[in-house]
Structures are given as C-alpha cells and as structure tokens.
Structure 1
Amino acid sequence: MESFADLSHFLRSHRLRTAPAETGVSTGAGPRTAPCLLPAELARAAGLDADRYADIEDGRAGRVSLSVLHALASALHLDADDRAELFRLGASPGTSRLRGLGHLTRAVPMLPVIAFNHRYDITGWNLPGQALLAWDLDWPVEHVQPNLARMLFLGRATRALYGNGNAHGQRQVAGLVGALRRAVEQHPDEELTRLVVELAAGSREFAELWARPAEERSDEDDCGVLFRFEHPAVGLMELSRVVLEEGAQNGEWAVVFSPEPGSASAAALDDLLARVSGRPC
C-alpha cells in the first residue's frame, strides 16, 4: 500500500538526519563509521524490538499502533507538523488519511488547522491548532487521540473556550451534537456508541441536547461561519472556519480557522502563537 511505502520513506529519511547523540542511546565503545542513527538504535530509543522496527521501516508491518507512532515520534524529536504527518502515514485505526494534511499544516503555519474523524477524534493538527483547542494540556500533546466532544462536554477548560451561557456558544455546541448524531446514522461503530453513552452519562448538557429533535442542517454549517472563542490566554477571538472535505465520504475532514486581517482577533491569535512558540511541540 502506498501509505506504508510513504511511511517507510518518512522514517528512513528522518532517521538518516538524526545523530545518535540526539536520542541519548548508547552507540558502544568501538569506532563508529555511520554518522546517522542506525535502525537498531532508533528501535532501542523508542523501546521497540529491533526486528519490529525493521519491519516498519521496510514497509512489511502493515498498520502501526498509536503507541508505537508516539514512541517513534518522541525518539526522533519530531515537531508538531511532522508528528501529524507520521500519524497520517501510519494510518492506524482512527488516524487521519487526509493525504494533504501534512502539507497543509506546513503551508499554513500561522493558522489553526485541525483534522477530525466522524467521532470528533482529533487525528491531526498543527501548532496553532493545538494552541487554540488544547492550550491547557501538557505539551507535546501525548494523549492518544484527544476527542473534541469529550474535551468539550467533560472538560471545563474547553467548555469555557466555547463560552458558558452565551447564545453563539450554545449554537456551536449544539452543532457538534448534531454532527455526532449524523455520524451515528452514517458511520456507526462501537467506539462511537461508547462515546455517546459516556458523554450522556457524564454531561447533563450533552444528554439534553442529544434528546432534542434533530434540526435540519444548513449550508452555513460548513464554511464561512464565524466562530467565537473566549480563549483564557488571549481573550475573545472571532475566527472564520473553512471546512476541507477531502475525506468526507469516510467521515474524515479538516478545518482551517482564520481571523479578519488586521482585526483584534488577528492580534489575539498572534499573541497566542507568541506565547506557545517557546513550548516544546
């Protein structure tokens, strides 16, 4: 499969550009002729069996688990964009297969770019995307697939980001519940069912919204909608959302948020990026 060949090339190219000293692995006492990190050394740095890593780099391993991808990303000290690309190429269950995502996060380094699957698992994001939605998490974000619905309904920080009690925030939150309801109809799976049960049990707000009659979806749900984020670090930001539906038939999609140029929201986003630019990513 092409994605596995691409994964092989990605890992090999990053390994060849990595010096052994960067990973902290022992290279032995004898003379060394290879300046780059050897496959067995990368495997040791990532806590993997050498043969297992060789199968991954040679494209024989098939799909790679999220935990292994996390370990390899950490061992290679990948930045946020390269991490997103690694997870896309690994194509583990639930990770993004939007082929342009890795290129997009590099091409749009100053705007939040976030990819989701039908369950609202966050399958990829760049540094601004993390700063917008996950400023409160430990960085680098090592959570296995943060889920926006879980963050929103079971986490106070993210719920506050959408505004507590204002009408605009309530519409945004209700829209997410509607999207999950459509996902149950169009892309049902056991994990999605468990998520809905968990949210209904843990959030009265979610349970009430889920019990409401489904509202008819309008075209404005997709593009150009102005989102208001009450960010605790930099204050109010009004950002337009553009939806990229390259993988929509499989329930996968990505969004790009952007402020009006020269606006207070643009200044707030610049401030947010300046605050997190020194954090490890």
Structure 2
Amino acid sequence: MDNRAAIREFLASRRARITPEQAGLPAYGGNRRVKGLRREEVAMLAGMSIDYYVRLERGNLAGASDTVLEGLARALQLDDAERAHLFDLARAAEPTPARSRKAAPATVPASVQLVLDAVNDAPAWVRNARHDMLAANRMARALYSPLLADPRRPANSARFVYLDPASHDFFQDWERAADDIAAMLRSEAGRNPHDKLLIELIGELSTRSEDFRTRWAAHNVRFHRTGLKKLRHPVVGDLDLTFEAMEFPAHPGLTFLAYVAPVGSPTADSLKLLASWAATTEVPQH
C-alpha cells in the first residue's frame, strides 16, 4: 500500500466535504474555487501553521504527535472510525514502526468452533479482517448458502458482494452492503498495510469491479459493530436481522458475528424455517 498517497487522498477528501459554515467560519464572497475548506482554514482550525499542514496533506505524517493528530481530527470533524484511521496512517508512516501487526489469521482455534456450534438458535460465524468466513455454525452456513455456493475457500464476503451477481438478490440494500465492505477494507488497509493477502484482494477487486474502484477511491472508513442486516434468502425469503460483532481478546484479528430477531417477529419465524432447512441440508463450509 502507498502510505503517502493514502494519507494525501484521505486528508484532501475529508477537507473537501466540510463547508466554512459547517466549520463555523465566515464564507467571504460567493466564488470559492476550492470545494470545502481551504488548507489555511484547516491549519487555523487545527492550531498549526499552513506550511506544516501542507506537509501533512502531502502525505508526510511521520513524527506527527498525538496532539497534532487530535487537532487535525477536530478540524476535519472526523468520526471515531476516521480518527482511528488517521492514527493508523500516522503509525504506518513512521520509518521504524514500534510493532508490526500480524497478517489477518487464516484459521480459527478449535475452541472457537466449539463456541459457534454451541449457538443453536441463531446464525453465528467468525471472519478475519479480509472478510474471509473462517468458521460458522450450521445456521450461519444455511443463511450464507449463496456465499458458500462458490467453491473457492475461504469464502470471502467482499468477493461475493462485488464479483457475484447473486449478491444483488441476497442483500436487500446492496449499495449499503457494498459501501460497508469497501469502508471496512479501507480501515484494515490503514491498520495493516503490509498484509500480502489483503493487498492481493484489493488488487483483484479493483481490477474486476468498477463499483469497488469507485468506493475505494472515496477513502471512506467505517466501524461495523452492530446494526440491521436486511437479507433475502433463497429458501426462507426476506430477513430483517439485528447483528452484533465482537472481537476475541485472546485471538486478535478474529471477529464473531451473531444475527438475531425479536421473538414473535416475522424474521424470528423465518429463522425457525431456516433451522429446519439447515437440519436437512448440509451446506459445506470447507
């Protein structure tokens, strides 16, 4: 990953989205040639010199202190995910990073699979930061049968969304799913820019999908910890699922996801049908 280019494009894109009015600044004249804030306006808001800000936006975050980064985050009105991404980019810019991150894990311990198998009434699965499905219980394999229909393993949600036409039927809001996946991969690229398999995945998606290229160029980042997942399963139909995503402190890089629905809701009834279908139809994970 080109860290300097990522810094340059991230800062420029965040600056371009903020108007002077949103930043609490007077907008003199009606013919601003710059979309969003000017560099000198960001520098003033962040409490730094224009020369120093220009250096940062050219991609040189090496040596920037936490105080400088916090000031920059406030000036650009970054949310929590964007702030974390800025700090990740700054760490990657250091000539000798304090500690290099391990590549995303490719397998799960047997104990994690046992935890998944103990969850009987809800789809539950584990992914890494490349969005490889590494382990799943029977309900999750049934739920994600369209994803697992591709024999390539490990099954990968990003490839499914961008490269498999079946994803447009599976995700009721495909645009949102595509936005989320690109934003999460962009976040991971900032955290772990030297993950070879991640670089290969992003290269493959960029080569084969214009939808991905457009979203990747936007430099949006996002946390994906809880929310609503609206799916259309080929057997049980529409599902409005609440999901929770949790990390394993003992197994860095693994994320546990579980999908549930309120008792008595149409989706809860559909999950019962899914469980019946799963009991008679084995969807291979490996």
- TM-score category, normalised to shorter length: 0.5 to 0.7
Which of 152, 157, 172 aligns to 1:148? It is: 157
Q: Which residue of 2 aligns with 1:96?
A: 108
Q: Which residue of 2 aligns with 1:174?
A: 179
Deviation per residue, 1:77-97 (Å, 9 max, x gap):
xxxxxxxxxxxxxxx961124
Deviation at 1:233, TM superposition (A): 1.9
Q: Which residue of 2 aligns with 1:238?
A: 240
Q: Distance in 2 between matches of 1:254 and 1:199?
A: 24
- 3-state secondary structure, aligned to 2:258: strand
Matched, 1:227 2:229: yes
Structure 1 unaligned regions, length at least 5:
1-91
Q: Which residue of 1 aligns with 2:15?
A: none
Q: Which residue of 2 aligns with 1:128?
A: 139
Contact 2:245 2:255 in 1 (8 A): yes
Judging changes above 3 Å, is the alpha-carbon distance between structure 1 residues 93 and 105 closer, same or farther for their aligned structure 2 residues? closer
Between Structure 1 and Structure 2, whose CA radius of gyration is higher? 2
Judging changes above 3 Å, is the alpha-carbon distance between structure 1 residues 137 and 121 closer, same or farther for their aligned structure 2 residues? closer
Q: Distance in 1 between matches of 2:250 and 2:176?
A: 22
Deviation at 1:252, TM superposition (A): 1.6
- Which one-letter code corresponds to 1:213 in the other structure? H
Which segment drifts farther, 129-138 or 102-111?
129-138
Contact 1:153 1:159 in 2 (8 A): no
Which of 197, 208, 215 aligns to 1:209? It is: 215
Q: Distance in 2 between matches of 1:142 and 1:101?
A: 23
Judging changes above 3 Å, is the alpha-carbon distance between structure 1 residues 213 and 183 closer, same or farther for their aligned structure 2 residues? closer
RMSD of Structure 2 on Structure 1 (CA) = 2.5
- 3-state secondary structure, aligned to 1:277: helix
1:38-187 superposed matches below 5 A: 94-97=106-109, 100-135=111-146, 137=148, 143-163=152-172, 166=173, 169-187=174-192
Structure 2 unaligned regions, length at least 5:
1-103
* Equivalent pairs, count: 179
Q: Distance in 1 between matches of 2:147 and 2:243?
A: 22
Judging changes above 3 Å, is the alpha-carbon distance between structure 1 residues 96 and 261 closer, same or farther for their aligned structure 2 residues? same
Contact 1:115 1:124 in 2 (8 A): yes
- % same residue: 25
